[in-house]
Structure 1
Amino acid sequence: MSPLANAIVRLRLLWERPSLRRMAQNIGWLLADRLLRLIGGLLVGFWVARYLGPVAFGSYNYALALVLIVGAIATLGLDNIVVRDLVRAPKAAAAIMGSAALLRFGGGLMAIAVAVGAVALLRPGDSTLIALTALMGMASPLQALSTIDLWFQSRVESRDIVVARNAAFLIATLAKVALIIAGAPLIAFGWTFAAEAALGGLAVMIAYGRQNQAIGAWRPSIVRARALLADSWPLIFSGLLVTLYLRIDQVMIGQMVGDAELGVYSVAVRIAEIFPLLPGAIIASAFPAVVAARAVSEELFYDRLRRLYALVAALGYVAALSITLCAPWLIDTLAGPGYAAATPMLVVLIWASLFSGIGLARSTYLNTANLAHLHTITVALGCLVNIGLNWLLIPRVGGMGAAIASLIAYWLAGHGACYVVPELRATGAMITRALLWPKFW
């Protein structure tokens, strides 16, 4: 039998496994979600960039970066913990969901206060930026409703939630187009950010109801809330650190160089952020299978991890090489000649995305093996290095310095730190093999 025929037979046998077929279908829906958001977000997002210009677009991204940094407080690091508990104890779903949602709502209120306070301290007197941050921060408490998404993830059923979320996304996207046509001011775009979160929450509630589920059946429990926080507290800190070292460069550029340079850098970031969407969909769908594999055998558990690392690495190389070759054309076509300086920044950032994807895949292992505290250590190391390099490089080379800092920090947090922390050396070796030879089949 030829290698091609043998591969076809193996794929057919894999497809006949119900669990794998279900996972593949779920990945398909998640990819459809990512692709729609990718296409709509790129087209309209760069239209917004052209409309606002580098300075105003930089201000928008300054506020967005602050909101996303403190927004990590609202999620409380609960995502994978809730999915894990729902897989292990589906009969306790009412207590798990209710407790997680209540915790997230409280965290969201705290996030708004921190975001507005931070921008008032960093940019005193800039009333437009303060108002913009407050508007965008309104999305944080609404993260409580995204707990419903975790219920769908635990069942590896994403069709309804994808349809619901994208309905809200399309409405918000059309609203941005209308604002551009109407010649609206910068502050109006803050309203669309908050509106999308509100519409998204309503849409997922409808999708949840179609599954004969109801928020009214949730039963928040102090005992369950404490248990969730006991498992997730390292992830609260690490989630804040992750968002910090993903977004702090934008805040530092805005403070140290100015909003015009931040606007240019943000265009490169927007394109580079496309890559993590694909491995993110795969990892979200694979997580329940990895959790289940550990209950079967260590051999199956590590085999699935190996395949996951290799697949994420392979996708990373394809994305990095493709965008490296197309970077000048992409910047000119999407954002226009006013953002030409973003081209070299994009090339560096897309290679950094390879390591951010690897780090995301490694978190699957850490969460399954109850080693979330090690994730905090590696992310803290990457965050400190990123901030230090930004402080040194941004005043000298602007956004390019931030891109170089991100590349080094992402590699260190996702891969290099594995050889510093003894418990991670085995999984670090798996990642090294995946990077050198990403064979996932």
Structure 2
Amino acid sequence: AFGGSKFFTIILNAIAGRVLGPAGFGLLGIASALAEVGKLVSGAGLDFLVAREVASEPARAPRLSHDVALIKLLNAAGVYILLALLVATLDYPPVLLPLVLILGSALFIENLSDLLDAVFQGLQRMRVTTVAFLVSGLVLLGTGSAALLSGLGLRAYAMCFVIGFLVRFVVMFIAARRAGLIELGWRGIDRVESRRLVLASLPLLASTGLALIFHRMDLLMLGTLETTAAVGLYTAAVRVIDSVVLVPRVLGTALYPALRKSLQEDPVRARALLTESSRITLTVCSGIAVLVWVLAPWALSVTPGPEFVAAADVLRLLSFGIVLQGLAHVVARLLLAIDAERDFLGAVSVALVLNFALNLYLIPRYGLLGAAWATLLANGVSGSLYLLAAWRRGHALAWRAGIGGPLLALAVGAAVSVPVDWPLPAGLRLVLAWALVLVLSGGLRLTDLSRLVDLLRRRPSGTSQ
């Protein structure tokens, strides 16, 4: 469902890029990044706890959804007031403030939908989420396309996100209401329970919020150091990356329930599951990275449009970070499964400071490529810190049987793709080197496809030994 919704977004980006051009697309990218930070800070962490507690005690779903919705409302009010002051204070174009507020409203509605999604996840009723995602994506595609092609401007286009996310919320609200999972009316907040929820979610809230700022640091800093047209080019590359990193997110989400259960019941089986799943995830991510590198000019010409092909080098550089993001997703799920949220927070905090410093140094000197290098280097440090945290907890990821093959294959492929006077084209050199090293190192095996399907179907027995 999320993949289908993403596909609709890709089509919408293709239209937006052609209609708005690099400058308009850049403004939209900065506004989206700021609004996304507000969404995460106002509600992240709570949904994870709701899903976990509803799974344990389904009868608590109505009270939990009521209290968490009120907490999110209060958080969002404070966060978006601060964001508005930040945008007004910094050297951003005046048109950015209304865009941030409109998109912030849309993402607050999405935040409420995520709460209901967490309730349904806890009860393992995913059909409602599937329908809501697809209907919302179709509505957003239809209204957004109409607003863009009619020349109504950025504000009208941003309002389409409010409409699309509202449709998703209404679908999920009706389903939850019929299932008796929510109650209407004002009941007040259970202060003791709400305080417990907020305190329990703080490590995860802080780490996920900082992680989003980490992943949007390049866009946020480019918005103050470069022109909006330059930010538009960079945003185009980032949107392509965002579309494909859906894969490690889905794999990480599918891995989490089986991994947590295995860690509690059979640590030996859990280690085998983690080794095999991490290798398969990184193999898939490295293949996607190679594909994005080779098809970068074509991908940008299709979405968001021919004007953005100039960002091909940026996209190629960012593509190597897909594997690092895949690694981070796997290890982050491991840290959450062993209740090591504080280690997760520490790693993200260090990586965020480094990312800020690298962007501050590299963007004035190398422009868009500097931002891409800063992001890539910070992703490498972030993944290394995650691995270190897992090792300290006694859950080191296997190198030879696990993550080593895919990482080595992509590193060798990247090394031979540098622009030198060799007989073969750079893309072909990259593909051949990656495939050869991947096979020789054992990173790719004949049974991987069936095990990948087992993982996605949450049948961990097929991903063992």
TM normalised by structure 1 equals 0.85
Please name the residue that 2:387 is paired with: 418
Once residues 225 and 431 of structure 1 are traced to their aligned partners in structure 2, the CA distance between those partners, rounded to angstroms, is 46
- Structure 1 counterpart of 2:304, from 324, 330, 335: 335
Instruction: Give the Å deviation of 1:115.
Output: 1.9
Gaps spanning 5+ residues in structure 1: where? 1-32
Q: Which amino acid aligns with 2:87?
A: V
Please name the residue that 1:373 is paired with: 342
- Structure 2 counterpart of 1:133, from 91, 100, 108: 100
Judged with a 3 Å threshold, the aligned counterparts in structure 2 of structure 1 residues 320 and 191 are, in CA distance, closer, same or farther, namely same
Please name the residue that 1:59 is paired with: 27
Please name the residue that 2:235 is paired with: 266
Q: Which amino acid aligns with 2:335?
A: L
Instruction: Write out per-residue CA displacement over residues 158-199 of structure 1, whole angstroms, 9 at most, x where no aligned residue.
Output: 222111122122112111111122111122112112222222
Alignment of structure 1 residues 31-70 onto 2, 5 Å? 33-70=1-38
- Asked if 1:190 is matched to 2:181, the reply is no
Instruction: Give the Å deviation of 1:263.
Output: 0.0
Once residues 282 and 152 of structure 1 are traced to their aligned partners in structure 2, the CA distance between those partners, rounded to angstroms, is 19
Once residues 362 and 173 of structure 1 are traced to their aligned partners in structure 2, the CA distance between those partners, rounded to angstroms, is 34
Q: Which amino acid aligns with 1:433?
A: G
Given that residues 5 and 133 in structure 2 are in contact (C-alpha distance below 8 angstroms), is that contact kept between their aligned partners in structure 1? no
Q: Which amino acid aligns with 1:182?
A: S
- Secondary structure of 1:341's match? helix
Given that residues 50 and 64 in structure 2 are in contact (C-alpha distance below 8 angstroms), is that contact kept between their aligned partners in structure 1? yes
Alignment of structure 1 residues 69-80 onto 2, 5 Å? 69-80=37-48
- Structure 2 counterpart of 1:107, from 53, 75, 83: 75
Q: Which amino acid aligns with 1:99?
A: D
Judged with a 3 Å threshold, the aligned counterparts in structure 2 of structure 1 residues 425 and 346 are, in CA distance, closer, same or farther, namely farther
Instruction: Give the Å deviation of 1:425.
Output: 6.5
TM normalised by structure 2 equals 0.81
- Asked if 1:155 is matched to 2:95, the reply is no
Instruction: Give the Å deviation of 1:226.
Output: 2.3
Once residues 106 and 79 of structure 2 are traced to their aligned partners in structure 1, the CA distance between those partners, rounded to angstroms, is 10
- Asked if 1:393 is matched to 2:346, the reply is no
When structure 1 is superposed on structure 2, of 222-231 and 412-421 the one drifting more is 412-421
Percent of residue pairs identical: 23
Judged with a 3 Å threshold, the aligned counterparts in structure 2 of structure 1 residues 115 and 435 are, in CA distance, closer, same or farther, namely farther
- Secondary structure of 1:335's match? coil
Please name the residue that 1:9 is paired with: none
Instruction: Give the Å deviation of 1:209.
Output: 3.5
Judged with a 3 Å threshold, the aligned counterparts in structure 2 of structure 1 residues 275 and 229 are, in CA distance, closer, same or farther, namely same
Instruction: Give the Å deviation of 1:383.
Output: 1.0
Please name the residue that 1:116 is paired with: 84
Corresponding residue pairs, total: 408
Given that residues 54 and 261 in structure 1 are in contact (C-alpha distance below 8 angstroms), is that contact kept between their aligned partners in structure 2? yes
Once residues 61 and 175 of structure 1 are traced to their aligned partners in structure 2, the CA distance between those partners, rounded to angstroms, is 19
Please name the residue that 1:382 is paired with: 351
- Asked if 1:348 is matched to 2:294, the reply is no
Please name the residue that 2:138 is paired with: 170
